[in-house]
Structure 1
C-alpha cells in the first residue's frame, strides 16, 4: 500500500509540472510566472521538501555531487554534442519547411521575452533550466520510481512526464503536427538521459548533456529567431 501511494504521488507530481507550465504560459502568458511556478515550486521545491522531511538532504547531495566520474562526463559530453547538433540541424529544417520564425518570435514576445533580455534568458535556460530539470526528473522522480517498478518502466514513465509539458510549448510555437513531433524527440532525449543516469549516478553527466542540448536551442533562438 505504501508503495502504491508513493507511485501515485509521483504521478501527481508529473501532472503538476505540466499544470505549472500550462498556468504560466497559457493562463498568465508569462515566462517569469512559468519560471516561478515550474522551476521554483516544482523542480526545486518538491525534491527539497522531500529531502528535508525525510532527513536525507546531505546524503542525497553527496550522492549527486561528490562523485566526479571522468568516463561519465565523457559520455555526457558526447551525447550532449550529438543532441546539440541534432537540435540545430532539426530546427534549421523546421524553419525551412513550414514553421515561420516570425510566429515563434511573436509568441515569445507575448510571453515577455524581448531582444533586450534574450542573452540573460539564454544563459538562464542553458545553466539553470538544465540543472533543475535534471534534479527533478532524473535525480528525484526516476530514482523514486525505481523503488517501486522495474527500470524500463521507470525510464518510460519519467520520460513521459518530462516530455508532457514540452507538448504545450511545442504545439504553441510550432503547430500541432510539428509540436507532437518535437515532443516525441524530447521523450527520446529523456530516455537517453535516464539511461545515462543509470550508468553514471552522479548529476554531472546528465547535466552537461542537457546543458549542451539547451545550448543548441538557445543558439537557434539567438541566431535565427531574434
Structure 2
C-alpha cells in the first residue's frame, strides 16, 4: 500500500468519523479498524508470517528494562496530566461547550464507560503497534532511526489536531498537540533502544489514564 496513504489513513478515519459523521463510536470503529486491519492484512495475509514471527517483528517481546522505563515515563505523564488538569482545567476548557460537543459526538450517557475502556485498553495497544511497531519495521533500512522516530511521531500527532482543537479553549488547543508529539518521540526512542514495544504500550496506557482521570474528576 502507498506509504503516504498509510501515514494519512488514521487521520482520514478520524476526519470521517468526527468531522463528517460527528460520532465517537463510529470514529472508533473506523480508526481502530484501520490500525488493526492494515498490519494484520500485510503480515498475516500478504506476507504469510506466523503469529510468533509477526509479534517479534512488531516488537511485542518482553524486555524488563523497557517495561521499567514504560512504568516510569507513564507515571510521570499521568501525574503531569492530572496536576495540569487540577490547576488549569478552568483555563484549558469551556465546560459547557465541551459537554455540548461530547453530546454531539455521542460521547455521553451509558456509552461513556465503554468508550473510556476502549481508550484505556484498545487505544494504547493499536496505536503503538501501528506507529512504533508496524511502521518501524516498514521503514527499517529505508530511513534513519531519527527519521523513523520523527515521521511516526509527526503523523501520530497529526490526527490529534482533529480531536484536540474542538475540545480545548483557544489558544491552548493548538499548544496541546506539542505534548502528543513529544510523547510520540519518547515512545519511539524507547522502542528503538530496546527493540520492544511493551514499555511504550505501558507508558501510553498510563498517559491515557491521566487524560481520562481529568475528564472524570474535573469535566463531567
How far has the Cα of 1:17 moved from its partner? Answer: 1.0
1:8-47 equivalences under 5 Å are: 9-40=2-33, 42-47=34-39
Give the TM-score normalised by structure 2.
0.92
Report how many aligned residue pairs link the two structures. 218
1:61 aligns to 2:41 (yes or no): no
Change (3 A) 1:93 1:169: farther
RMSD: 1.7
Change (3 A) 1:197 1:61: same
Change (3 A) 1:218 1:70: same
Give the TM-score normalised by structure 1.
0.90
**Which residue of 1 is the match for residue 97 of structure 2?**
103
Provide structure 2 residue ranges, at least 5 long, that are not aligned to the other structure: none
Structure 2 counterpart SS, 1:122: helix
Supply the distance in 1 between the matched residues of 2:151 and 2:58 (Cα, whole angstroms): 21
**Which residue of 2 is the match for residue 3 of structure 1?**
none
**Which residue of 2 is the match for residue 128 of structure 1?**
122
Give 1:155's match in structure 2, choosing from 141, 144, 149.
149
Structure 2 counterpart SS, 1:171: helix
1:167 aligns to 2:161 (yes or no): yes
Supply the distance in 2 between the matched residues of 1:143 and 1:106 (Cα, whole angstroms): 41
Change (3 A) 1:55 1:84: same
Provide structure 1 residue ranges, at least 5 long, that are not aligned to the other structure: 1-5
